[in-house]
């Protein structure tokens, strides 16, 4: 099977670890030919280039396509670059992959603006189309005030909403991250009759053996990162932007500082970057808290080591969200055998799934006092059982083998799996 993958995620090799590269690597190991278009921004070195490699029985060709700036830039420039993305991808596919008859097109959101490129390939090759739905845009932007239903920004909202609905319409299957995510898409697009085409295809990774460091190794890791040896460490890693409501994270840290038990037995470590990261930097600079350490975004291997030094992984989502999000960072925690504390909006089911799966806890992301209460309760219990449950749940439900099977069965590729 020849598989085309379109994404805004940047990677040079399928050997890199991540939710997309892990999944594509599974396809190549099963003998498929994978073609991927992955953007590289103009501010980075190098132009458009084609990379070829092999894994298992299959081959991969990665087209690093030079595009405009979409990361760490102003909203106008980012918007223009994103709008242009579809035509750039279409031209690149026509130039570099014109003779390839694709059987399956995989694509992820964000963005929805790859619509024309997908329609072009689907019409030319008759390929099945599978949407990996990783966000629900533009409603998520409305929820946190980046767009609105009225005014000038309302025009943008309606334009993007038409594109979103057309993307759903041309997708043979839509894989959503969780049951709540799937239910939302069906109910809020009722006239498209998506029930038979929407399914849960969760974020997934290649699950390696559980790492259980001994006390001496954890001591070395904590020394490496300058973390206290005897306290329970709560770690957050990833984006620090509007979706995470960084102001609430600061609120939680301030509330924790008022609790003697947390100051004695708990510690918070945050590693990330984003548009609102300065809120955390300013808090630490002005108030010099003794229970917090802030790192910039770390390379994958470094972050994994940091997680192994911790006891609980943290998830934050803005309480204003009406759409059910499901951050992929959760998987890194679970791979390291960490339970999860999720501070989220009421529409997201990540907290409920963690509690029902016995690997985590949930608190509302608009109540810092409840966050502190939960932290205090976790300081006095043995977390290892919850960490073991986290790893086992990941292995049983969110491995790339599971996701691969879902995609192949729903696109008529069962024979390819044998």
Specify the number of domains making up the chain.
2
Does residue 36 share a domain with residue 100? Answer: yes
How many CB atoms are located within 10 Å of the residue 216 CB? 8
Q: What is the CATH number of the domain that holds 48?
A: 3.40.50.2000
CA-nearest of 247, 410, 235 to 319 is 247
Summarised one tens digit per residue, pLDDT across range 3-53 is 999 998 889 999 999 999 999 999 999 999 999 999 887 665 667 899 999
Cβ distance 334 to 307 under 8 Å? no
Per-residue pLDDT for 78 more than 70?
no
Does residue 13 share a domain with residue 104? Answer: yes
pLDDT of res. 418: 44
Cβ distance 334 to 302 under 8 Å? no
Average pLDDT over residues 194-217: 88
How many CB atoms are located within 10 Å of the residue 161 CB? 17
Does residue 273 share a domain with residue 188? Answer: no
Does residue 175 share a domain with residue 148? Answer: yes
Does residue 202 share a domain with residue 219? Answer: no
Summarised one tens digit per residue, pLDDT across range 94-134 is 999 998 999 999 999 877 778 889 999 999 999 999 999 99
pLDDT of res. 414: 57
CA-nearest of 202, 204, 136 to 168 is 136
Cβ distance 139 to 111 under 8 Å? no
How many CB atoms are located within 10 Å of the residue 120 CB? 17
Structural domain that includes position 305? 215-397
Does residue 411 share a domain with residue 393? Answer: no
Q: What average pLDDT is seen over the chain?
A: 90
Proportion of the chain above pLDDT 70, given as a percent: 92
Summarised one tens digit per residue, pLDDT across range 182-205 is 999 999 999 999 999 999 999 999
Does residue 17 share a domain with residue 144? Answer: yes
Per-residue pLDDT for 216 more than 90?
no
Please tell me the distance from the alpha carbon of residue 377 to that of residue 361, in angstroms, as a whole number. 11
Proportion of the chain above pLDDT 90, given as a percent: 72
Does residue 346 share a domain with residue 408? Answer: no
Does residue 152 share a domain with residue 284? Answer: no
Does residue 311 share a domain with residue 173? Answer: no
CA angle 96, 101, 104 (to 5 degrees): 105
pLDDT of res. 377: 97
Summarised one tens digit per residue, pLDDT across range 286-314 is 999 999 999 999 998 899 999 999 999 99
pLDDT of res. 69: 57
Does residue 145 share a domain with residue 25? Answer: yes
pLDDT of res. 112: 76
Q: What residue has token string 């630490």?
A: 284
Beta strands in 104-193 (DSSP E): 104-109, 128-133, 173-176
């Amino acid at each position: 099977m020849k598989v085309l993958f379109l994404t805004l995620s940047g990677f040079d090799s399928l050997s890199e670890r991540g939710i997309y590269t892990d999944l594509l690597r599974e396809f190549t190991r099963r003998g498929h030919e994978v073609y991927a278009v992955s953007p590289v921004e103009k501010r980075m070195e190098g132009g458009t280039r084609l990379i070829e490699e092999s894994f298992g029985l299959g081959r991969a060709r990665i087209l690093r396509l030079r595009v405009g700036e979409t990361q760490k830039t102003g909203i106008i420039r980012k918007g223009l670059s994103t709008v242009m993305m579809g035509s750039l991808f279409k031209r690149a596919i026509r130039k570099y992959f014109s003779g390839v008859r694709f059987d399956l097109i995989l694509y992820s959101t964000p963005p929805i603006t790859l619509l024309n490129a997908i329609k072009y390939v689907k019409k030319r090759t008759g390929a099945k189309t599978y949407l990996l739905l990783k966000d629900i845009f533009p409603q998520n932007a409305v929820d946190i005030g980046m767009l609105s239903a009225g005014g000038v920004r309302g025009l943008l909202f309606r334009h993007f909403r038409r594109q979103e609905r057309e993307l759903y319409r041309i997708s043979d299957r839509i894989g959503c991250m969780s049951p709540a995510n799937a239910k939302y898409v069906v109910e809020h697009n009722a006239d498209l009759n998506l029930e038979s085409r929407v399914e849960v295809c969760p974020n997934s990774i290649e699950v390696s053996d559980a790492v259980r460091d001994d006390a001496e190794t954890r001591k070395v890791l904590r020394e490496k990162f300058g973390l206290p040896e005897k306290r329970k460490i709560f770690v957050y890693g990833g984006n620090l932007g509007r979706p995470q409501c960084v102001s609430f994270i600061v609120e939680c840290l301030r509330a924790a500082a008022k609790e003697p038990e947390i100051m004695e037995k708990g510690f918070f470590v945050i590693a990330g970057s984003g548009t609102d990261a300065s809120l955390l930097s300013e808090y630490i600079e002005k108030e010099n808290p003794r229970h917090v350490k802030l790192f910039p975004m770390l390379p994958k291997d470094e972050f994994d080591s940091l997680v192994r030094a911790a006891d609980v992984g943290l998830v934050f989502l803005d309480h204003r969200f009406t759409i059910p999000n499901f951050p992929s960072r959760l998987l890194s925690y679970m791979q390291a055998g960490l339970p999860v504390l999720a501070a989220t909006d009421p529409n997201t089911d990540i907290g409920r799934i963690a509690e029902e799966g016995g690997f985590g806890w949930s608190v509302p992301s608009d109540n810092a006092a409840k966050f502190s209460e939960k932290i205090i309760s976790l300081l006095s219990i043995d977390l290892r059982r919850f960490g073991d449950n986290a790893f086992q749940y990941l292995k049983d439900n969110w491995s790339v083998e599971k996701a691969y099977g879902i995609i192949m069965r729903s696109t008529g590729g069962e024979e390819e799996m044998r």
